A and B are shown apart, each in its own frame.
Chain A
Amino acid sequence: MDVRAAMEDKGLVRPGMSPKEIVGRVRSLDGVCFTSTGMRDAGQSDYKNRHRLYDLKTLAPYYDRMGLFSAECHGGARWHVGVMNRRESPFEELSILRELMPGVLLQTLIRETNLWGYRPYPKNVIEYVISKVDIDVWRCFSFLNDVRNMRTVAEVVMKRGRLFEPTISFTAADWTTNDYYLSVVRDIVGLCAGTDEIVLCIKDMAGVGDITRIGNLIDAVKQKYPEMVIQYHRHVTDGLAAPALLAAARAGAKIFDVEEDSLVRFYGQPPMLGIQAYFEESGIPVHLDRKEAEAAVQNVRQWISHYEWAESPFKGYDHTVTLHKMPGGAFPSSFEQADKGEFLHLMPAILKVMSLYNRIVKYFDVTPGSQITWVTCSGIINKYAKEKGDAGVRHVTGLLARFIEEKKQDFESMERQEQEELLMLFRNAPGDFKNLLLGNYGKLPVGWPPEWVYKSAFGNEWDERIKERKEQSPLEILKDDNIEKLRADLSESIDREPAEEEFILYLMHPKDALEMIVFRDKYGEAPLVLPTDVWREGLKKPGDTVDFELWGKPYSIELLSIGAEHEGVIHVVMRVNNKTRVYTVETPRAKKVATRMAKGANEVGAPINGNIWRIGNPERGALKVGDIVHKGEEVANLEAMKMENAISAPFDGQIAEVCAKLNDTVQEGQLLFVIEKA
């Protein structure tokens, strides 16, 4: 199919097409097409996932006319950060984008058994969640390239008639040979019953494949599976993205991840206009409406300045990424952590340790692997820095370099004292590192690490622990969760029936989902309707106004005054659609009156809100500490709205503490008495 003809034919692919039709149309395209990561990976790689739907959705009309293969707008860490920080539900994002760009395939990025969370989920949770999410293209990767782990996602997605995009995690190392990758592709083709209903993605998540390597790998796959449609995903960090993409296209890749040129910084995908020009100059037609793409690039300039605060402090290309392999998506957040933890100056050493560590424990640096690598390596450096200062940092990097580069990891050839030090190296490693060693995520791509690593991680228990190591996929091991029980837990926490979407957020990220639900119950759709400057900084001076639409009606909020802080409270006066309202805002310094609540079996709490008007009972008079009370005896009486409520002793015992005073106003559950059992 000629690119021009396809463009005039109202787009190459559309939601609702069968996977087979989508794959067939891309296969027969006389040229290549693009996936825009502008709504997901671009923001994750350079802006810590801070880009809000409020701004991103303004791109949708251009996407709808641009001729994209798909828009990656969902999944990865964007999902979690949406729940945790932006307070946008990924479900809201999908339904809003679906409406604004009905002709575009919506794409997610999903971690096989981890889905959009950080732990392996049992099969029934995976099935439940996948079946509820309205996504057209499911890009699914495993940080171990353990294809067994993809089975459940593949089954549900393909059964739903949506496009499954199995993904190879790519890195450059002595063990990642073409034979290795071809064995992974073979597993994928086996899982998906051929190449007709899938797109294969090669995920070069750090941007580490050199130009020859990428061309060579894609060529090898195409030799073995000529009909395979291949998509190449690559980050720009090493500075060599454009020629690498061209090499991939020449070798037969059909789809490329790009983002708006005006969004490109140092860790995301390459620029769409530049890549299109470069491809076409090289004789490869691109299915992209240049005019719409230029308009999209211009559109970004209107809002991107609101996010300068979110950019990584580590600016510029970094060709050493080919050694430390920190992926684009992890860069800004790692640097943010280093900044907050005040160890930014240790970053070069940490990156150096990462480049050595990944030769000992072999897997792919992409979520959750990249987090395991980051926490393990930054932990080692921080420990040495804390205990022995700069000299310690130099010492440990030197030790590892000598062990790996000089001694070729021959543990026995190290000095006695060095051996002992290596045997303590992973003792404080995070639990997830230990889970990884025990096979809880699946099997490592080229076998388990050597024994000394287990000794180092587990100490004397190492041989016991190694027996626990699993060879099976977590899908086969994990027992089903009780979904209805989990739903009931959530219902109890929020004191109402959760919406289906809320429940799925909770399944992935229980703590953050609960916080988001509370946030949204309190602040409604503020995350969706407020412009980014107001979302971030509010209204600054009297007279400042924010106008927006909510549910099809116009609203306006004008700041009149912000009072001075007094006893932990600030009064903010605003006009909401011309009506004056006063908001009482508690400052973090507000005195929190800690109310003791009844918890234990020997603690008696108030049954309802009310006023304690009697402590004791008419027969005995007031009760005090040390008095003996009998089961059922009235120990206090609480009045609320004219009704008296007797509070009786739950068992025979002695009053150990009276926690309320006469005429106190108490709240439901507040501790009134502690009684010691007789």
Chain B
Amino acid sequence: MKKTIKKILVANRGVPAVRIMHTCRDRMIPTTAVYSTPDRLAHHVFMADAAVHIGEAPPIESYLNMDKMIHAAFQSKADAVHPGWGFLAENAEFAQRVMDAGLTWIGPSPDVIRTMGDKIQAKVLAQKANVPTIPGISSVTDIEQIKKWMKDEGVSFPIMIKAAAGGGGRGMVKVEGGGELAQALAQARSEARKAFGDETMLVEKYIENGRHIEVQAVADEYGNVVHLYERECTIQRRNQKIIEEAPSPTLDKDLRQEICSTAVRLLKEIGYTSAGTVEFLFDSSTRKFYFLEVNTRLQVEHGITELITGLDIVGIMLDVAMGRKLPFGQSDIHPNRWALEVRLNAEDPKNFSPSFGTITRLQVPMGPNVRVATGVYEGADIPPYYDSLFMLLMTAGADRADAIRVMDRSLGGNLRVEGIKTLQPLLLSIIRHPGFIAGEFSTRFIEEHMDELISMFKEKNSEDEVLKIARYVAEISALGPQKWM
């Protein structure tokens, strides 16, 4: 059904809100920003055509508050809602309530969001669509079951015993060989009983040196699903991605074809619409991939796919939401560049402890082949209540080495952030590390190399140094000579 969109409420803050508003401006569609009390002077508020205060700092009173969001849309005469990523982006109830209110929801249908949000159901659906999932069995009570399963399915050690009700590492034991099996199962069951009062166990193959590879796709209401190729998001800290690239340096042509068409098959099976991502775990040693989950939203790292394809994914989401057909087919998509993204989080680069406060200096990288998505400006505050991501830095080049070189220039030579701690030095160390440059890494890269990465932190330039000198001049001018003088 064809619709028009006259004004969009962007139900988010920071980097995603600013990103969406850029495309809206391209389309000359006015936007409404929402803000919590500490975000009153935030960057996204001034990017928008109108802004509505939606509550106090805690997300539950503001950015997670559905009533206030919908009220803000009506108040500002917006007729559509884009959720960005995070907050309410994968909340089926919110999508439904937006639609029930007569507004256009820019994203996948509530049903799809709900189904893919249930991890067990998602795995079942994936198996139905013939998508490989991590081999495993459920309802395990004795080791004979495990041995039989391993024999039948040709699974070898290591394996992972997990409590079905589990989480937080409790009731989870990695098993390296047959000898440890009985003891490991007993331990996992005992832990699970204590922790969750439920000793239901499941067993999965343990993927060592796993890499995180995902496929970006877009789909319309008419059953067309087109993939926009893959992204590699293996460099993570505490299970959160911090460096992404497209394409993946580890896939060959055949595997790329296979993983992308598998993703399309799954999305067709579930009747997907709008933009979405299918995430896989890739086993480097066996070169097999396994389904992890579907992200039913715009993803943080969508920008690098835009850089290699030349498309605007947010724009496509708007078109699909207005009931338009995808204007291209699979054969029209020809990625022809390499792109890299780093996430600038306001964190201590040595221990990831959050850092917040005022950005006293911000110099944004420029020059050929650089794209910056920022949620802040010089003088802006980073409040302690929300995600630590404040800027995405993307670079592109004819090949991977080019993209890395441009990233080195952008991170090392151009970007300056003062007033808060950021991941900048860590990111620079990573992209200069021989393991990263060779494309050989797993999701454990950062923990394995942390000391070495930290030892690479240092680089001075005279632009930074002169500001230190100026600080001295300021202090002496204000306070007079030092005591010993």
Residues of A at under 8 Å CB distance from B?
Answer: 50, 84-85, 309, 495-497, 522-526, 529-530, 534-540, 546, 548, 550-551, 553, 555, 557, 559, 562, 570, 572, 574, 576-577, 581, 583, 585, 587-588, 608-611, 613, 639-642, 665, 668
Contact in complex: A557, B473 (CB < 8 Å): yes
Contact in complex: B477, A642 (CB < 8 Å): no
Contact in complex: B478, A572 (CB < 8 Å): yes
Contact in complex: A583, B475 (CB < 8 Å): yes
Smallest CB separation, B456 vs chain A (Å): 11
Contact in complex: B465, A524 (CB < 8 Å): yes
Contact in complex: B469, A539 (CB < 8 Å): no
Contact in complex: A538, B478 (CB < 8 Å): yes
Given A559-B477, A665-B384, do A609 and B354 touch, yes or no (CB 8 Å)? yes
Choose, from B335-343, B385-393, B430-438, the stretch at the interface: B385-393
Q: Which 3 A-B pairs have the closest CB atoms?
A: A538-B477, A524-B468, A538-B476
Given A496-B457, A537-B481, A553-B462, do A581 and B470 touch, yes or no (CB 8 Å)? yes
In the complex, what residues of A have CB within 8 A of residue B470's CB? Answer: 557, 574, 576, 581, 583
Contact of A536 among B354, B468, B481 (CB under 8 A): B481
Contact in complex: A608, B469 (CB < 8 Å): no
Contact in complex: A551, B462 (CB < 8 Å): yes
In the complex, what residues of A have CB within 8 A of residue B384's CB? Answer: 609-611, 640-641, 665
Given A526-B469, A576-B470, do A609 and B353 touch, yes or no (CB 8 Å)? yes
Q: 18 interchain pairs (CB within 8 A)?
A: A523-B468, A524-B469, A535-B476, A536-B476, A537-B480, A538-B473, A550-B466, A570-B479, A574-B473, A574-B474, A576-B466, A581-B467, A585-B478, A608-B351, A639-B385, A640-B354, A641-B384, A642-B86
Smallest CB separation, B37 vs chain A (Å): 13
Contact of A583 among B455, B458, B462, B471 (CB under 8 A): B471
* Chain B positions 342 through 355: 1 when the CB is less than 8 Å from some CB of chain A, otherwise 0: 00011100110111
In the complex, what residues of B have CB within 8 A of residue A610's CB? Answer: 354, 384
In the complex, what residues of B have CB within 8 A of residue A553's CB? Answer: 462
Contact in complex: B476, A537 (CB < 8 Å): yes
Smallest CB separation, B348 vs chain A (Å): 9
In the complex, what residues of B have CB within 8 A of residue A587's CB? Answer: 478-479
**Is B290 engaged at the interface, CB distance under 8 Å to the other chain?**
no
**Is B472 engaged at the interface, CB distance under 8 Å to the other chain?**
yes
Contact in complex: A611, B353 (CB < 8 Å): no
Contact in complex: A536, B485 (CB < 8 Å): yes
Contact in complex: B469, A572 (CB < 8 Å): no
Given A522-B468, A609-B384, do A534 and B353 touch, yes or no (CB 8 Å)? no
Number of interface residues of B (CB under 8 A): 42
Contact in complex: B471, A85 (CB < 8 Å): no
**Is B484 engaged at the interface, CB distance under 8 Å to the other chain?**
yes
Contact in complex: A642, B386 (CB < 8 Å): yes
In the complex, what residues of B have CB within 8 A of residue A577's CB? Answer: 466
Separation of A526 and B346 alpha carbons in the complex (Å): 29
Contact of A85 among B59, B464, B484 (CB under 8 A): B484
Separation of A581 and B467 alpha carbons in the complex (Å): 9
B480 nearest CB neighbor, chain A only: A537
In the complex, what residues of B have CB within 8 A of residue A84's CB? Answer: 484
In the complex, what residues of B have CB within 8 A of residue A496's CB? Answer: 457-458
In the complex, what residues of B have CB within 8 A of residue A524's CB? Answer: 464-466, 468-469, 472
Smallest CB separation, B221 vs chain A (Å): 33
In the complex, what residues of A have CB within 8 A of residue B346's CB? Answer: 641
Separation of A641 and B462 alpha carbons in the complex (Å): 33
Smallest CB separation, B333 vs chain A (Å): 34
Given A523-B468, A609-B355, do A540 and B387 touch, yes or no (CB 8 Å)? no
Smallest CB separation, A519 vs chain B (Å): 9
Contact in complex: A585, B469 (CB < 8 Å): no
**Is B356 engaged at the interface, CB distance under 8 Å to the other chain?**
yes
A524 nearest CB neighbor, chain B only: B468
Separation of A588 and B482 alpha carbons in the complex (Å): 12
Contact in complex: A641, B466 (CB < 8 Å): no
Smallest CB separation, B406 vs chain A (Å): 24
Contact in complex: B468, A570 (CB < 8 Å): no
Contact in complex: A529, B469 (CB < 8 Å): yes
In the complex, what residues of A have CB within 8 A of residue B480's CB? Answer: 537-538
In the complex, what residues of A have CB within 8 A of residue B462's CB? Answer: 550-551, 553, 555
B347 nearest CB neighbor, chain A only: A641
In the complex, what residues of B have CB within 8 A of residue A557's CB? Answer: 466, 469-470, 473
Interface centre among B59, B345, B481 (most CB of A within 10 A): B481
Contact in complex: A526, B472 (CB < 8 Å): yes
Contact in complex: A530, B473 (CB < 8 Å): yes
Separation of A639 and B386 alpha carbons in the complex (Å): 9
A642 nearest CB neighbor, chain B only: B387
Name B380-428 residues within 8 Å CB distance of A. 384-388
Given A309-B485, A640-B354, do A585 and B468 touch, yes or no (CB 8 Å)? no
A571 nearest CB neighbor, chain B only: B478
B455 nearest CB neighbor, chain A only: A497
Contact in complex: B386, A641 (CB < 8 Å): yes
Separation of A445 and B272 alpha carbons in the complex (Å): 95
In the complex, what residues of B have CB within 8 A of residue A570's CB? Answer: 478-479
Separation of A550 and B470 alpha carbons in the complex (Å): 12
In the complex, what residues of B have CB within 8 A of residue A641's CB? Answer: 345-347, 354, 384, 386-388
Smallest CB separation, A481 vs chain B (Å): 24
Contact in complex: A523, B356 (CB < 8 Å): no
Smallest CB separation, A54 vs chain B (Å): 13
Contact in complex: B466, A522 (CB < 8 Å): no
